[in-house]
Amino acid sequence: MFRRQLFVSLLVVLTVCLLMSPVSVAAPKNVIKLAHDQTSDTYDPVHAYALVFKSYVENATEGEYTVEIHPASVLGKERERLELTQANGIQINLASIGGLSAIYQPAILLNTPFTYKNDKVVAEVLDSDFVQWMFADMEKKTGLKSINVFELGGLSCFTNNVRPIRTVADMKGIKFRAMDDSQVAMFKALGANAVPMAWSETYTGLQTGVVQGQVNPVSIILNNKINEVQKYMSISRTILGGHWTVVNAAWYNKLPADVKKIVNEAFYYAKLASSGLTQVVQATGYAQLKSLGMQVTPISEEAYQEFRKLGRTAVIEWAKTKMDPSIVDRFITTVDAIEKKAN
């Protein structure tokens, strides 16, 4: 009797194993976790970057590698996602520049306000030798490998609930959400008040009046429905709308050569997609926000120069107290040379 029961038990176990084996064979051998802080809207340039990367890798490896996309900060806020990337809990993180600066301070230089005349200057700065130097320097200091910095909707715009902003004088007394200390310095120099606040808390903060304004590219304003809690928007060309692609260096370096080639190509096409979508969003976004009830105000060139004189100068001075001043000077020299060439 005992032998019969043992035989039946072994038969059941063997049958279950045989039934399960096709599933195991079909399952992907490698999972790449990619995280970001924006919505899962296909027309969000950050999520579009992730979707193109996923499609290219999975198709080119014929399913041997699969990419899991984790949007909307579901794997944690900025600092938490960066720490998970360092620990290989996340392989790829699309980080805001402000968030990344918490562990690598020079990154914040890319967010120096009123620094980029247009998107052409932005593109050349992001491909400059200075940015490549930052990539190498950051890897030495943090263990995170940088792949690229990509655009996610153009240069940022001011929005608020108090009044239209056309000049620096219109900023006076408005409480703006600040992403980081550099933005605190900028808003103070412009006569506004700054309230540090995580992005995940910003919609509610605007809704409840804890803050009255914020600054972001038109894509983020649209995809996060900021128009529901903001009345006025100014086309101010304030800050670079960009995210920094960082990966776990050990994971990346151990990829087989053929897979690493595919991954690098996927990053390239993902950046192209995000940059292209950025232009589409800017071409259509202002009209769309107007149709949704926002009052959109352009800032004149004369007013822009006043914003630049006060806001840019304040952040450059602040940056020189946080890092080697020669790094700051090298960044400004790089941007100014590119802008002069563009002109």
Nearest CA among 341, 338, 343 for reference residue 125: 338
Give the C-alpha separation, 334 to 125, whole Å: 7
Give the C-alpha separation, 287 to 141, whole Å: 44
Q: Which residues contact 175 (CB under 8 A, 6 or more apart)?
A: 192, 193, 194, 195, 210, 211, 212, 213
CA distances from 220 to 98, 244, 293, 336 (A): 15, 16, 17, 28
Query: Rounded to a whole number, what is the largest CA-CA distance in the chain?
Result: 96
Q: Which residues contact 45 (CB under 8 A, 6 or more apart)?
A: 150, 151, 152, 153, 219, 273, 274, 277, 278, 281
Q: Which CATH architecture has domain 157-239+288-342?
A: 3-Layer(aba) Sandwich (3.40)
Give the C-alpha separation, 273 to 342, whole Å: 24
Q: Specify the pLDDT at position 283.
A: 94
Delimit the domains of the chain by residue range: 17-152+242-284, 157-239+288-342
Collapsing DSSP states into helix, strand and coil, what is residue 238? coil
Backbone angles phi, psi at 241, to 5 degrees: -90, 95
Collapsing DSSP states into helix, strand and coil, what is residue 67? strand
CATH 3.40.190.170 fits 17-152+242-284, yes or no: yes
pLDDT digits (tens, 9 = 90+) for 126-162: 999 999 999 999 999 999 999 999 999 999 999 999 9
**Bridge partners for 234 per DSSP:** 158, 297
Share of the chain above pLDDT 70, in %: 92
Do residues 199 and 179 touch, judged by C-beta distance below 8 A?
yes
CA distances from 12 to 19, 20, 24, 25 (A): 10, 12, 18, 20
pLDDT digits (tens, 9 = 90+) for 270-304: 999 999 999 999 999 999 999 999 999 999 999 99
Domains 17-152+242-284 and 157-239+288-342 share a fold: yes
pLDDT digits (tens, 9 = 90+) for 40-84: 999 999 999 999 999 999 999 999 999 999 999 999 999 999 999
pLDDT band for position 26 (50/70/90)?
very low
pLDDT digits (tens, 9 = 90+) for 244-254: 999 999 999 99
Nearest CA among 92, 89, 78, 102 for reference residue 49: 92
Give the C-alpha separation, 240 to 219, whole Å: 13
Give the C-alpha separation, 294 to 85, whole Å: 38
pLDDT band for position 28 (50/70/90)?
low
In the 8-state DSSP scheme, what is residue 293?
Answer: T
115: number of CA atoms within 13 Å, CB side?
29
Q: Which two tokens stand for residue 332?
A: 């400004």
